[in-house]
Amino acid sequence: MKLVHKNIERDGCGSIGLIPEEPEDMWHAYNLVAVADAVTASTVRKVQTESSTGSSTSSRVRTTLTITVETIDFDTQACVLRLKGRNIVENQYVKMGAYHTLDLELNRKFTLQKPLWDSVALERVDQACDPAANADVAAVVMQEGLAHVCLITPSMTLVRSKIDITIPRKRKGFVQQHDKGLTKFYEAVMQGILRHVDFSIVKCVIIASPGFVKDQFFEYMMQQAVKTDNKLLIDNKGKFLLVKASSGFKHSLKEVLQEPAVMAKISDTKAASEVKLLESFYTMLQLEPAKAFYGKKHIERANDAQAIEILMISDKLFRCQDIQQRKDYVAIVDSVRDNGGEVRIFSSMHVSGEQLDQLTGIAAILRFPMPELEDSDADGESDSDSD
Amino acid sequence: MARHRDIRNRSYSEDYDDDDVYGYSVEEDSCLSPSDASQWIYDRNRSQQVDLLQSHNDIQEEPEEDSIADTSLPGHERRESMDFRSLNLDEEDEAKLMSCLDELRNVIGDTISDNILIQAVMKHKFDFTKSLDEILNRNRDSEIPKIEPVKPVIIVDPSKAPVILTVDKAPKVIATNAEPKAVGIVKGFKVGQDGSSGSRPQTPRDQSPCPERMLKTDQSDEIRVTPKAKENRLDANTQYANERGSEKDHLYIVVIGHVDAGKSTLMGRLLCELGEVSQRTLHKYEQESKKIGKQSFMYAWVLDETGEERVRGITMDVGRAQFETKTKRVTILDAPGHADFIPNMITGAGQADVALLVVDATRGEFESGFDFGGQTREHALLVRSLGVSQLAVAVNKLDTTNWSQERFNEITKKLKAFLKQAGFKDSDVTYVPCSGLTGENLVKPPAEAGLIKWYNGPSLLDVVDKFNVPERPVSKPLRMSVNDVYKGTGSGFCVAGRIENGLINKGDKVLVCPTKEVAEVRNISINEMTTNVAFAGDQVSVTLTGVDMQNVSVGYVLSDPIQQVPVATRFEARIVVFNIKVPITKGFPVLIHHQSLVESANIVKLKSLLNKSTGELVKKKPRCLGNNCVAVVEIEVCRPICVERYKDVKELGRVMLRVAGATIAAGLITNIVST
Ligand SMILES: Nc1nc2c(ncn2[C@@H]2O[C@H](COP(=O)(O)OP(=O)(O)O)[C@@H](O)[C@H]2O)c(=O)[nH]1
Ligand SMILES: [Mg+2]
């Protein structure tokens, strides 16, 4: 994302101009825009013109509109952000107050005006505009009959293809059906890789599975590559990394990201560090339960005691429509930082963020044990908001 | 009350053998097409998707064309099911209902569907005469009774729109057809996002045309099927007695143990000794195994049939073979021992009546299989959790220890302590010293001097012969879990699996669940032998027609079309937590193993922590669950599956929870949550 301008008043209100440059920037924009913000962007509008004879023709015009946002929708697959709201600036084609839906477009500037730019929003702008954070990794987790071809970008894990094929089991005298099914499956996974992995962008392609599936598959793929003289695969053979995973389900990406061989290659990526952090939370919960808490109520109380060493919070919580809720969470973040604690905002698009979301979206490792919290029942509240 | 009791006696044996069966369960009402994850193909340049989006959003909107959302929100239509399991009757009422139904049948025969009868009976509060009147009158009124409300519940989601907007103002993520469930963010809403119009299906299963087709066919099928189903149920026990009364009992044994304990060799040798393997075949195996330098595996080749298994010298999927003892026809399921293949081992164990645990007596080997992260413990715990209570332990490879009695005693002592803890009764476990490679003490009494000196117990075959065959619930509604789908020789295709409940006759209509498509059974075979009927407990292969092979997959259940298996995405279970590295919290992602099905799921709620020995409530809504505790949790599966409450159908009421290749808990389903 490119920052074009930034005009923020003392009281926090103001506008920022941004140009999204890659699909992932739409995700950042999605996390920035809130209901009631004003967004100015270029768009296409269909207009009806009536000729003197009474027949009407419609044509498309490009124009710039400003709307107050009422609904926000993000299409995770195509990375399209769609904002709907009423027009608030006089326009040649569109009446004031008329509804319009803006799809933010790549490489076109949009301006976002907020009544309050809080620290979390500003941090998101910085993160989005940081050119250093850019390491894409492709990962295929597989088991016999099931595979997920995923793309891991700095702040998103996208499942690009899911292959789910029933492979007949080996049975007496019918071993061929099993082998045939397996070949068909490998072929489908290979096609998935060829179609979805852009070898010019990704640092490496991880192939992970239990048992020998990965080795067998890789052997198959390379054999096919030689047979069909597929330069792309042959030239990129070195980019493949075979590691263990316990299954072909998406969760097992978590194990993959913790494999030493993978860590060595991508240790700096957000996805891997978040997995590690969440894991350390669970380890703490096991070893010293009085130093690991989750749920807003517990976290607030721990924070009041200035006990939070590391706060893990999902970006989903900042996307909630309830302004007061967002304020509360921003306040926790700011205060943890003020007290010298570390704050990590998890992407709800990564596997560990998904898990954190399920775990109320907020968790912390404390500096000192607070057994008194353990006894207090705060789960009621956190339970209801996850349902 | 039932729950209370089995909680209190938490020793596994009581826990898992609770015999309360109430015969009803909560009917679930959702049905999605076979794979929720409709496939998509992603184009780097996104042309396809973007076009799609734009065509929906033709920028000319005025307020009236309000939002795409309204049209695309799935019309979640619910219909009440009158299936009588869904009536939630208590035992007494159910009995009344049954007897009423029987009397009605006596009068009017089998011409009217169960559901109509049930409806009438319920309406008149089990009053036979009134119900009969109503039914007869109704028949007079219209030839074809209107039974709209009683059709099996099928929800068809008409939504075809790929883009789903939320109507409330909360910013939410939309998933296009392109990326359905796999992205976490979508979790906020449950949309039947199957009808993905824009995406080209990538795997065949997703081409399921099922929902629409179902609606049309289902009703008529049901009516046709009814008399048949009824008839079966009435004389199931008689039929069983007629068919099987004179035969040897069938018994299924799963062979478990650490990798290289000698399971395949033991079984291969046993089959050879019993003459089940021809000399010619054996000679061939001997020569071929010699050629690749694996002669010591020649007996294992009897069971390890794929090239890969032979080359690697390990079992990867369950191998099977048959033999007979004096009183039984035995099928053995040779499970893979390697940790990576535990899912296959679970499938094998889920189909077995009893288990044979093989341990390697060689010094150091037993220890590494038992103490140091070996599979001996996990396997034993798993089979116990899967409902196996009788166990034979083959203390194998005793030839390597010079038939040492001390070694045998040392091993049995360690195992006894452990197995007791795992929930096996001492009296249900038999230890047999043997050697698979030399064939000692398998079929004939021992000949080896070193063994005769101190052992005069039974041979392995005798032990197998003495296993008790569990009772087969043949009169309950049909449930058959599918663990294999393959092409047969004739028309249609085959599904193999175990009949958990009830029976199947050739020609029966069955409901393929969770997709709820009706199929016809064209052929049935047991161990490659064609038969006209198969009963609970049998492992069969049935040829189906009427559904597409691509729409059936491992983990599906063939169900009685009237008394259907519940289909659900969410259920409550009482779990026993094993040794785990990190505690379980809510939101914990797990894989659930349910018969042959493996599906990703989430522990969405920790409801209560129970005292291990008394079953009393220790804490409501615990923050987390640690090692070896007992708790009630709620689990949500990422797509609908067929589950039963444990008290209704034990085999379909058990789940295993696994994370990162380790089994973290075993559970019994206590409730099915309708969503
Ligand atoms: N000495 C000896 N070796 C055995 C015996 N049973 C099996 N083995 C060897 O142990 C190895 C593993 O056997 P296998 O049947 O594949 O084990 P599985 O993994 O448990 O199925 C093979 O090399 C066998 O020859 C036995 O009774 N005595
Ligand atoms: Mg084996």
User: What CATH code is carried by the domain that includes residue A86?
Assistant: 2.30.30.870
Nearest ligand by distance to the CA of B258: 1
Q: Where does a domain end: A114, A133, A152? A: A133
Does B74-143 match B567-673 in CATH topology? Answer: no
Give the type of residue at B598.
V
Pairwise CA distance, residues B665 & B211, whole Å: 35
Q: Where does a domain end: A235, A268, A301? A: A268
Query: Are A221 and A263 in a shared domain?
Result: yes
Q: For chain B, which residues score pLDDT lower than 50?
A: 1-86, 140-232
Q: Which residues of A touch B485 (CB under 8 A)?
A: 166, 168
Parent domain of A242: 137-268
Query: Are A97 and A111 in a shared domain?
Result: yes
Q: Is A58 on the interface with B (CB under 8 A)?
A: yes
Smallest Cα–Cα separation from A241: which of A287, A203, A270, A205?
A205
Torsion, Cα A328 A329 A334 A340, to 10 degrees, reads 120
* Cα-based angle B166, A382, B611 (whole degrees, multiple of 5): 130
Residue A173's closest chain B neighbor by CA? B305
Query: Are A284 and A380 in a shared domain?
Result: yes
DSSP, collapsed to helix, strand or coil, labels residue B547 as coil
DSSP, collapsed to helix, strand or coil, labels residue B381 as helix
Give the type of residue at A117.
W
Torsion, Cα B256 B258 A256 A196, to 10 degrees, reads -50
> Are B363 and B503 a contacting pair, CB within 8 Å?
no
> How much is the pLDDT for B108?
62
Query: Are A257 and A153 in a shared domain?
Result: yes
Q: Which residues of A touch B61 (CB under 8 A)?
A: 99-101
Q: Estimate to the nearest angstrom the gap between the alpha carbon of B264 and the chain centroid.
A: 24
Per-residue pLDDT of chain A (387 residues; tens, 9 = 90+): 899 999 999 999 999 999 999 888 999 999 999 999 999 999 988 888 777 777 888 888 899 999 999 999 998 878 889 999 999 998 888 889 999 999 998 899 999 999 999 999 999 999 888 876 566 889 999 999 999 999 998 888 999 999 999 999 877 666 788 889 999 999 999 999 999 998 988 889 999 999 889 999 999 999 999 999 999 999 999 999 999 999 999 999 999 998 888 888 876 678 888 999 999 999 999 999 999 999 999 999 999 999 999 999 999 999 987 888 899 999 999 999 999 999 999 999 999 999 999 999 999 999 999 999 887 765 544 444 333
Q: Which residues of B touch A172 (CB under 8 A)?
A: 305, 320, 528
Q: B295: which 2 tokens?
A: 């002669």
DSSP, collapsed to helix, strand or coil, labels residue A219 as helix
Smallest Cα–Cα separation from B555: which of B629, B631, B641, B661?
B641
Pairwise CA distance, residues B69 & B75, whole Å: 12
CA separation (Å) from A166 to A163, A183, B483, B521?
A: 10, 12, 10, 21
Q: Classify residue B84 by its DSSP letter.
A: T
Exposed e or buried b per residue across A155-172, where buried means at least 16 C-beta atoms within 10 angstroms of its C-beta? bbbbbbbbbbbbbbbbbe
Pocket of ligand 1 (CB under 6 A): B 257, 259-265, 296-297, 300, 313-315, 337, 396-397, 399-400, 435-437
What part of B 193-252 touches A (C-beta under 8 Å)?
202-206
pLDDT in tens, B282-318: 898 888 888 888 888 888 888 887 777 888 888 887 8
In CATH, the architecture of B567-673 is Beta Barrel (2.40)
Query: Are A54 and A150 in a shared domain?
Result: no
Query: Are A123 and A148 in a shared domain?
Result: no
pTM, full prediction: 0.75
Q: Could you tell me what percentage of chain A is helix, strand and coil, using 3-state DSSP and rounding each to the nearest 5?
A: 40, 30, 30
DSSP strand pairing (A38-50 vs B503-505): unpaired
Query: Are A276 and A368 in a shared domain?
Result: yes
- Binary contact (B173, A359; C-beta < 8 A): no
Q: A70: which 2 tokens?
A: 């009422």
Q: Name the domain count of chain A.
A: 3
Give CATH for domain B249-466: 3.40.50.300
Q: Estimate to the nearest angstrom the gap between the alpha carbon of B171 and the chain centroid.
A: 40
* Cα-based angle A292, A297, A298 (whole degrees, multiple of 5): 20
Query: Are A279 and A256 in a shared domain?
Result: no
CATH superfamily, domain at B74-143 = Ubiquitin-associated (UBA) domain (1.10.8.10)
Pairwise CA distance, residues B123 & B132, whole Å: 11
* Dihedrals phi, psi of B637, to nearest 5 degrees: -95, 150
Q: What are the structural domain ranges in chain B?
A: 2-46, 74-143, 161-244, 249-466, 479-559, 567-673
> How much is the pLDDT for B182?
34
In chain A, which ranges are E strands?
A: 2-8, 14-19, 38-50, 56-75, 80-87, 99-103, 110-114, 137-143, 146-152, 157-164, 205-209, 240-244, 292-294, 308-314, 342-346, 362-366
Query: Are A151 and A191 in a shared domain?
Result: yes
Q: Which residues contact A142 (CB under 8 A, 6 or more apart)?
A: A148, A163, A189, A207, A208, A209, A213, A214, A217, A248
* Dihedrals phi, psi of B512, to nearest 5 degrees: -85, 115
> How much is the pLDDT for A132?
63
Residue A307 belongs to a domain with what CATH number? 3.30.1330.30
What part of A 331-360 touches B (C-beta under 8 Å)?
348-349, 351, 353-360
B479-559 classified as CATH 3.40.640.10: no
Torsion, Cα B663 B664 B668 B669, to 10 degrees, reads -100
Q: Where does a domain end: A117, A133, A149? A: A133
Query: Are A125 and A143 in a shared domain?
Result: no
- Binary contact (A249, B63; C-beta < 8 A): no
> Are B610 and B632 a contacting pair, CB within 8 Å?
yes
> How much is the pLDDT for B343?
87
> How much is the pLDDT for A60?
87
Q: Estimate to the nearest angstrom the gap between the alpha carbon of B172 and the chain centroid.
A: 36
Ligand 1 pocket test target in B264, B265, B357 with most atoms within 8 Å of CB:
B265
What is the least distance, in Å, from the CA of A23 to any CA of chain B? Answer: 10
